[in-house]
Amino acid sequence: MADRMPGNDGGAHRSRTSPQARPSVNGGRRVRSAADVPPATQKPASRPSKPASSTPASKPGARPARRQAQAVPKSRTSRAASAPVQGASYNTPSLWTKNAAPGTSEKNLFQRILSVVGRVLLSLLAFVGHGIAWIGRAIVSLVSRSRAALVVTVLVAALAVGGLVDLGMNWGRAYAGVRIGEIDVSGKSAQDMRALVEQTYGPRLASGSATIYASDDAAAKVADELARAQDVATAEQQSVEQAQANKQLWTASADSLSATLPIDELVDEAMAVGREQGGLFGRVGALLTGQVVEVRAAYGDAPLESLASDIDATLGNPRVDFDIVVHGGVAEVSDGYDGNMVERDKLTRELDRALLDDAQGKGSFVARVEYAPLRIDHAAAQAVCDQVNSAIAPGARFTYAGSFWDASSTDLGEWVKTSVEKRDEGWSLIPSLDEERAKPVVLAHVQQGASNEELKVLFERKGDDVQVHTDTSHTIPLIAETMSTLNRVLFDASDGAPSEVPPRPSSASAVRPAEGQPVEVAVGSGPAPATTSFDEALSLGIISPISSYTTEYTKKAGTENRNHNIHLASDLLNNSIVKSDGIWSFNGTTGNCNAEKGFLGAGAIINGEYDDAIGGGICQVATTVFNAVYDSGFPVVERHNHSLHMSSYPDGRDAAVSWGELDFQWKNDSTSDVLVRLSYTDTSVTVVLYGINPGYRVKTEVGQWAEGAKYKTKVEYDESMAAGTSYVKTAGADGSSITVVRTVTSATGETLRQDVFDSNYSPLGEVVVAAPGVEVKPHNAAS
C-alpha cells in the first residue's frame, strides 16, 4: 500500500506517481487512472478495487466514472483540503496558499461604493433625460398648437445659443462698446487694458499740471503781462495772509497731490460691465450706446485737503463745526457756523479732467465754493463735552517702579483733542488723547520718580534711514502703550460704566475702580533695545518730539525759485544730529547755498530792497529752525534778525543767514543726541526736534514796537511799458524795533536761563516801475 503523508494545515499535496500509475493514452485520448480521481471518490484502501488503468475508456462502464469526475471540481478544493492524497510521497513538496493581499478588503469596499455612486449618477442622468424628453414633447405639442409659442421658443433658443457663443467669445475680455476714458477696450483682456491705460494716461499724469483760477476774471488776468509782472514783484514781500487774500490761482501736479492711477480698479470696472454691472441688459446697452468708465486719479488725503483748504481761505468762508475746548481741566463748547467751501468730490473730478483729459496733461478750471452746512451741531458737541468732563474730572494716578504721579484734570485736559469722523449714522465728534503731547510729560514724571539713572540715546544715519542706539539695557517705561491704554479707558466706554482694559504680561493696564474715581494707570515696561529703527523708538516712547514749528509760504507765479530753494535747504538739513553738548550751525550743516549746489536766483533782501539773489528763501528755513529751538528751551548761541520786518513770522522771532556773514547756531545741553528733522509741502516747511525731552518750559514776553526811520520811494522807468502805465515793484515799509524775552525753566520750575532777543528792522524802500512820462507821487522820493 502506498505511503501516505498528512497535509500541512489540511492543505492539498501533489504526489509523485510511478510510471505504472501514470495515465495511459488510448487512441490519442487521455485515459484517467486512479490517481486522477479525487480521493473522495476512491474506495478505502482495505477494499482494493480494480485499477482504473485496466478499464478501457471505450467500455460502457467508464461513462459513470467520467460523469462523476466531471462533477468533482465543484467540491474539489474543500475536500482536498481535508483528506490526504493516496500514493503521495513523503518528500512531496507542499502546495502553499497565500493570505489575501493587504488592503484588498478596503479596495473592494471602495469599488462597491464607486459602483453605487455610478449607478446613482446613471439614474440621475436617466431621470434628467426623461425630463428633457418630456419638456421637449411638451414644447413640440405647444408649438404645434400656438404660433406665439413657436416664436417664443425660437427666441429663447436663439438667446441661449447666443449666450453660450457670447460667453465663449468674451471669456476674460471686456464686452463690445466698453471704454476706459478715451480708450476703446472692446474685446481686450485685463492685461491688455492695464497696458493701454498706463501707456495713455501714465505720462499725462506724471508730467501734467492743473491750474486752478480763483475766478473767471483771474483766468483772463493771467494773459495780462502787466498783472503778471506785479504778481512776481510782490510775491516775495507779502505775508502769507496778504498773499492769501490776493491769490488769483493755484497750480497742482501729480507729485504735489501724491496722485497715482488706480489701474486695477479701472480695469475691474470695465470687466464688470455686462457682468456684475447690468448683466445682459448692460451688455446690450454697451453694444448699442457704449459704456464709459471715467478715468480718474487717486489723490493723497492730506495734500488734497491742504489744496482745498487753501482755496477755501481765499474764496470762501471755511465752515467751523461746534467743538470743545478745555481750560483748567474743564471742557466747554466752542461755537460753530456754516460756511462756503469747495466741495471736495467736485474738486477731485475737476482735477481728474485737468490732469488726464488733455493729451499734454495741462488743464485748468475755475474753483467754485458752495454752501457748507455744519457737520457737528451744538447738541452733539455738548454731549462730547459732558463725556470729556466726566472722564477727566477725577484725574488719574500713574504708577511705575514703585513710585506714582497724580495727574489732575488740568493735566489730562491739556492732552484732549477731537476729530470729526464719518460714521454710518453720519458725522461724529470723537474725543481722544493727543499722545504726542502726553508722552513727554508722563515720561518726565515717571523717570524722575523711578530712578536717577536717565536713559541716553544716540542717533546714527544709515543712508536715508536713522537708527537709534541706547547706552544701557535697563528697563524703560512704555509710554506709547500706556497712553493708548488710558485713551481707551477714558473715551471708549459707551455707557459710562466703570471701564477696564485687561492687563497683559509686562504691559500697561488702566482701571477705573468706580465711577467718579481716578483711573489707576500702571505704566508698562520693557527692556530698552540696544538698537532700533527711528519709527520703533518713537512708538516705544524711547524718543519723542521735543518741539516743532511750521511756517508757510505762497505758491504762485514768481515764487517757483524761492520755493525750490526752501525745499533744497530743507533736504540738506534733514536728519542732522546734534550730539550732547554739541553746537548746531545752519551754515555749517548746509554749506554754501550757491549755484553749484543747485540753488536758484530768487527774491532776497539786499541793501534795504527786494532783489534777486542765489539762494533766496533759505532764511525762511533758518527762521523755522530758530522757532523750533526757541520753543524747546535749548540755548541759542547766535541769531540775527532780517534787515526788514517779515510779518509772516512771530514778532521778533525771525532769523537771517548768509554764507560767511550771518549764521544761526544753538546748543544741545541735554544728555542725549537730538535729531533735527525737516519736511515740507508746496506751501509749508516744518522742523521737529526729536530725542529725550529734557522737560524745559518756555515763557515768552513780547515788548512794544518802536518806530524807526521812514521809507522812501524810488521810481524806475521802463521804456518797454505802455504809455501811462506803472506798477509797484516793492511795497515800502517804515523801520521798527522790538524786544522778545524768553525764560526757560526746568520741569520742577527752576529758572535755567533768560534770553533777550532784540530785533531792529530798517525801512524798506518803495520801488515803482513806470513808463516814461508817468508822474509818480513819491514818498520822500529818491531817484
* CB within 8 Å of 71: residues ≥ 6 apart: none
Tell me, what's the pLDDT at 323?
97
- Residue of higher predicted confidence among 707 and 234: 707
Look at residues 498, 513, 330 and name the one whose alpha carbon lies nearest to residue 408. 330
Q: In what order do the strands lie in the sheet with 178-180?
A: 183-184, 178-180, 291-293
Q: In what order do the strands lie in the sheet with 636-638?
A: 583-585, 665-667, 636-638
* CB within 8 Å of 108: residues ≥ 6 apart: none
Q: How confident is the model at residue 610 (pLDDT cuts 50, 70, 90)?
A: low
Tell me, what's the pLDDT at 336?
96
Tell me, what's the pLDDT at 22?
46
Tell me, what's the pLDDT at 427?
93
AA identity, residue 295: V
Mean pLDDT of 71-92: 44
- Averaged confidence pLDDT in the chain: 80
pLDDT digits (tens, 9 = 90+) for 379-401: 999 999 999 999 999 999 999 88
Tell me, what's the pLDDT at 313?
86
- Residue of higher predicted confidence among 512 and 556: 512
pTM: 0.58
Mean pLDDT of 673-681: 95
Residue 715 Cα to chain centre, angstroms: 56
Q: Which three cell numbers stand for residue 325?
A: 475746548
Tell me, what's the pLDDT at 727?
79
Tell me, what's the pLDDT at 603?
64
Tell me, what's the pLDDT at 20?
44
pLDDT > 70? residue 633: yes
Mean pLDDT of 628-638: 97
pLDDT digits (tens, 9 = 90+) for 534-571: 998 887 778 889 999 999 888 766 778 888 999 999 99
pLDDT digits (tens, 9 = 90+) for 479-499: 888 988 999 999 984 433 444
Q: How confident is the model at residue 117 (pLDDT cuts 50, 70, 90)?
A: confident
* Torsion sign across C-alpha atoms 234, 236, 239, 241: positive
- Cβ–Cβ < 8 Å for 364, 212: yes
pLDDT > 50? residue 66: no
**DSSP secondary structure letters along 177-216:** TEEETTEE-TT-BHHHHHHHHHHHHHHHHHH-EEEEESSH
pLDDT > 70? residue 67: no
For 500-526, give one letter per residue: b (16+ CB within 10 A) or e: bbeeeeebbbbbbeeeeebbbbbbbbe
- Residue of higher predicted confidence among 283 and 51: 283
pLDDT > 90? residue 184: yes
pLDDT > 80? residue 146: no
Q: For residues 632 and 448, what is the distance between their CA atoms, to the nearest angstrom? A: 19
Tell me, what's the pLDDT at 296?
95
Tell me, what's the pLDDT at 756?
96
**Phi and psi at residue 585, to the nearest 5°:** -125, 135
